[in-house]
Amino acid sequence: MKLFYSASSPFVRKVMTCAVELGLDAKIETTRGAAHPINRDKAIIAENPLGQVPTLVTDDGVALYDSRTICEYLDHLGGGRLFPAAGPARWQALAEQSAADGLLDAALLCRYEATVRPEPLRYAAWRDGQLDKIVCAVTQFAAWLPGFGNRVDIGTITVGCALGYLDFRFADLGWRNGREGLANWFAAFDARSTMAATRPHD
């Protein structure tokens, strides 16, 4: 398998964390992709018209886009340990994944606003709206905390990657303030060898 990746992408981290948890990381060849909202990478576009990372090309030559799809494909290959079977546990894990993915979408929009859009065109109220999504999502994570326990599934992995990305790019946000329980859970979860192996970097 071939994965177009960026070492700073939280969605790539999510995919690689799942791969390591499932023992599939050695079967994935990583190819650095220069995904960008304006200067689009033609090498990625050849496999994924959206030009985004992560993009996975399977051994059968099928290109899979979006971390959700790729993680579910890897889980299928790895024996189905990270996506619970249909029922309340699955819907909760998928809700956690969706909320954490949404936080990351908002965070990336803020990042692009600050690093890609020319300063005279930046819209502070719009960025504030994205930041509010992030804060609301973290508040929801704290509400879900009693159900996290020792679970390692697509829900908790995505939440862990989302909080890790806030530490990486939005350290001044102070997401831990008033959320000691969530901070403690994250400290333990992020210390897992699979999370340590996939930490984002420039």
What is the CATH classification number for the domain harbouring 161? 1.20.1050.10
Single pTM value for the model = 0.96
- Residue whose pair of structure tokens reads 């990042």 in the numeric block: 111
Query: Model confidence over 152-189: pLDDT tens digits?
Result: 999 999 999 999 999 999 999 999 999 999 999 999 99
55 lies in some domain: yes
Same domain for 144 and 105, yes or no, is yes
Percent share of the chain, pLDDT over 70? 100
Query: Model confidence over 109-139: pLDDT tens digits?
Result: 999 988 988 999 889 999 999 999 999 999 9
End-to-end CA distance of the chain: 24
- For residue 46, give the nearest of 13, 7, 4 by alpha carbon: 4
What pLDDT, on the 0 to 100 scale, is given for residue 38? 77
Same domain for 92 and 73, yes or no, is no
Number of structural domains found in the chain: 2
Does residue 87 have a pLDDT over 90?
Answer: yes
- If residue 111 lies in a helix (H) or strand (E), which one and from where to where? helix 88-115
Same domain for 103 and 163, yes or no, is yes
201 lies in some domain: no
Domain extent at residue 161: 88-196
Same domain for 189 and 116, yes or no, is yes
